[in-house]
Structure 1
């Protein structure tokens, strides 16, 4: 297992965990967001698992992309709609 694969496995595990721990707390239910979150959970868990067993070949670009996705998911507290929402301009 390379260092990139090990770090990527941890990042993908963090993405999966944070999306699984999302609580709506009164937010609207959007079916498309649920499906998108489901696909992200399964794909990040799969990528993390492949990193653990040594089948993943991750380069620096893939690692940076997953790191940015991880930061975006944690900043939005696991809300997929907030990750995709356009930022409001400052006034």
Structure 2
């Protein structure tokens, strides 16, 4: 198992955990966002599991993509809609 696979597994588990711990707290319910979050949870959990058992074949590019997704998920506090929302310009 390579170091890239281990780091990728940790990043994927972090994405999965943060999405699982999202709390709406008054935010609007959007069914498409729930399904997207569900798909991201399953995909990141599966990638993390494959990394733990040593079956993952991930390169540096895949790791960078997952790192950017992890940062975006944590900055939005797990809100998938905020990850996809276009940032507003500063005034």
TM-score surpassing 0.5? yes
Q: Distance in 2 between matches of 1:89 and 1:66?
A: 26
State the match for 2:34 in structure 1: 34
State the match for 2:77 in structure 1: 77
Structure 1: give runs of 5+ residues left out of the alignment. none
Within 5 A, what are the aligned runs for 1:12-23? 12-23=12-23
Q: Distance in 1 between matches of 2:34 and 2:82?
A: 13
State the match for 2:46 in structure 1: 46
Kindly tell me the number of residue pairs found equivalent between the two proteins: 91
State the match for 1:3 in structure 2: 3
Q: Distance in 1 between matches of 2:12 and 2:21?
A: 14
Structure 2: give runs of 5+ residues left out of the alignment. none
Q: What is the CA RMSD across the aligned residues, in angstroms? A: 0.3
Q: Distance in 2 between matches of 1:43 and 1:86?
A: 24
Q: CA deviation at 1:74?
A: 0.1
Task: Name the TM-score, length of structure 2 as normaliser.
Answer: 0.99
Task: Name the TM-score, length of structure 1 as normaliser.
Answer: 0.99
